[in-house]
């Protein structure tokens, strides 16, 4: 894969909302059957559609909110970059096999939710909109008759971890208490810093492989660094960027990117209530959540009841694939057994 394609795909993957009707029962003919209800709830004028997976009846039990990866990723973990991934649907099924109800939902711009009131100004959809959606989702889940409010958890992937940590620190009126957090392959630093690190790594690989001279690589890095500075200080982007970096940062997305970049996950991690059970996973082959890079993030979580699981050969969408190639994300396969073993020891906490 070319250096240009690696940078663009990695960044796109990193960027990658009441009434209900009953759908499938996973176990028929039993009062303990698991059913999936199509549900809706409203977040600041946006009607969000989701799936509430729970046991038939109102018997109380633990419940978990599932928040998908960054950007326009739907309730099942599918997005328009990588295709039908389905990892969040698989996570919901795993949780129900362990007695945990779940809510997963189509984020703004995806699935049945769509853009709603943002249809005429999609550039205004940024991190704050996603956080508002997550806050409405967790309140909806907490309000279900079968939800044990003392065992309400959040499981999330990638940039979704930012919104999950915000829920754990939410002390506003009516905000439910979050019992535990599953932060899977988390966004462990500021957004543009992570992209910068990826650009530098790809340029170093290009020099080593003979595709670029050191001078050419330095020129690309300098242009990107200048673009980051301009975005952060002025909220604008240069007219032209090399190596298709303009597909990562451009006038149509700069507002949302700068808004996301302003959030420091380390600060959010430090504000999670002490003693909260937290599971963090990373992988030696995940270009976005590599175990070698997340120590500052886990250090910020030292006051919690923290479990860190280092996966081997697992890609960013939680499957066994050491290539971590975005082109492979939609290939059918189970969640990595390494992940499910880690969850086995965490879900009951």
DSSP category for residue 212 = S
Reported as a single tens digit per residue, the pLDDT across 77-97 is 999 888 999 999 999 999 999
- With tokens 């910020």, the residue in question is 300
Give the model confidence (pLDDT) of 336-345 as tens digits. 999 999 999 9
Q: Which residues contact 97 (CB under 8 A, 6 or more apart)?
A: none
CA distance linking residue 188 with residue 162, whole number of Å: 9
Neighbours of 269 (CB within 10 A): 29
Both ends of the chain: CA-CA distance in Å? 42
What is the per-residue pLDDT across 265-317, written as a single tens digit (0 to 9) for each? 999 999 999 999 999 999 999 988 999 899 999 999 999 999 999 999 999 99
What is the pLDDT at residue 31? 52
The C-alpha angle with vertex 224 and arms to 202 and 313, in degrees rounded to 5, equals 30
38, 20 in Cβ contact below 8 A? yes
Nearest CA to 328 among 106, 157, 84?
84
Is-contact 249 257, C-beta < 8 A? yes
Whether 118 and 125 have beta carbons less than 8 Å apart is answered as yes
Q: What is the mean pLDDT of the chain?
A: 90
Judge whether residue 71 has pLDDT over 90.
Answer: no
Cβ-contact 309, 278 below 8 angstroms: no
Segment 221-256, tens digit of pLDDT:
999 999 999 999 999 999 888 877 888 898 888 888
Measuring CA to CA, how many Å separate 44 from each of 118, 132, 253, 278?
A: 11, 7, 21, 29
Structure letter (DSSP) for residue 68: -
Q: Is 305 helix (H, G, I), strand (E, B) or coil?
A: strand
Domains plus CATH for the chain? Answer: 16-189+264-344 (3.40.50.1820), 191-260 (no CATH)
How far is residue 252's CA from residue 240's CA, in Å, rounded to a whole number? Answer: 14
- pLDDT at residue 288, rounded to an integer: 86
**Which tokens is 4 given?**
């240009």
Q: The tokens of 220 are what?
A: 């690309």
Neighbours of 24 (CB within 10 A): 12
Q: Enumerate the H helices of 179-278 as residue ranges.
A: 191-208, 214-234, 254-261, 265-270
Whole-number Å distance between alpha carbons of 41 and 49: 7
Burial label for 216, CB within 10 Å (0-12, 13-18, 19+), is middle
> What pLDDT digit, counting tens, does each position of 17-48 carry?
233 333 444 444 445 689 999 999 999 999 99
Please state whether 262 falls in left (phi above 0), alpha (psi between -120 and 50) or beta: alpha
0.85 exceeded by pTM: yes
In this structure, are residues 142 and 174 in contact, taking their beta carbons and an 8 Å threshold? no
At residue 170 the predicted structure's pLDDT band, cuts being 50, 70 and 90, is very high
Separation between Cα atoms, residue 65 and residue 91, nearest integer Å = 11
Q: Residue 192, SS3?
A: helix
The least confident of 17-21, 70-74, 188-192, 242-246 is 17-21
Point out which residues pair with 52 in neighbouring strands: 37, 103
Q: How many residues does the chain have?
A: 349
């Amino acid at each position: 894969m070319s250096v240009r394609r690696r940078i663009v795909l990695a960044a796109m993957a990193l960027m990658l909302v009441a009434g209900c009707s009953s759908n499938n029962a996973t176990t028929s003919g039993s009062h303990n059957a698991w059913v999936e209800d199509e549900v809706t709830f409203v977040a600041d004028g946006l009607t969000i559609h989701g799936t509430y997976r729970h046991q038939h009846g109102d018997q109380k039990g633990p419940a978990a909110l599932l928040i998908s990866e960054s950007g326009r990723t739907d309730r099942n973990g599918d997005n328009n970059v990588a295709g039908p991934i389905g990892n969040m649907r698989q996570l919901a099924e795993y949780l129900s096999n362990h007695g945990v109800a779940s809510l997963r939902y189509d984020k703004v711009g995806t699935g049945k939710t769509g853009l709603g009131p943002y249809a005429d100004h999609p550039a205004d959809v940024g991190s704050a909109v996603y956080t508002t959606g997550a806050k409405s989702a967790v309140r909806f889940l907490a309000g279900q008759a079968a939800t044990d409010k003392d065992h309400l958890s959040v499981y999330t992937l990638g940039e979704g971890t930012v919104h999950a940590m915000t829920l754990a620190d939410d002390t506003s009126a009516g905000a439910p208490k979050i019992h535990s957090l599953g932060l899977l392959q988390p966004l462990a630093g500021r957004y543009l810093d992570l992209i910068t690190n990826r650009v530098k790594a790809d340029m170093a690989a290009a020099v080593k492989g003979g595709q670029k001279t050191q001078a050419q690589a330095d020129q690309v890095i300098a242009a990107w660094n200048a673009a980051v500075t301009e975005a952060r200080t002025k909220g604008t982007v240069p007219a032209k960027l090399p190596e298709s970096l303009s597909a990562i940062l451009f006038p149509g997305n700069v507002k949302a990117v700068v808004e996301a970049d302003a959030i420091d996950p380390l600060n959010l991690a430090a504000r999670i209530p002490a003693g909260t059970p937290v599971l963090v996973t990373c992988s030696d082959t995940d270009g976005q959540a590599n175990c070698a890079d997340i120590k500052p993030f886990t250090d910020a979580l030292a006051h919690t009841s923290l479990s860190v699981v280092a996966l081997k050969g697992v890609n960013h969408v939680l499957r066994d694939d050491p290539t971590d190639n975005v082109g492979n994300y939609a290939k059918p396969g189970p969640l990595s057994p390494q992940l499910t073993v880690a969850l086995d020891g965490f879900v009951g906490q």
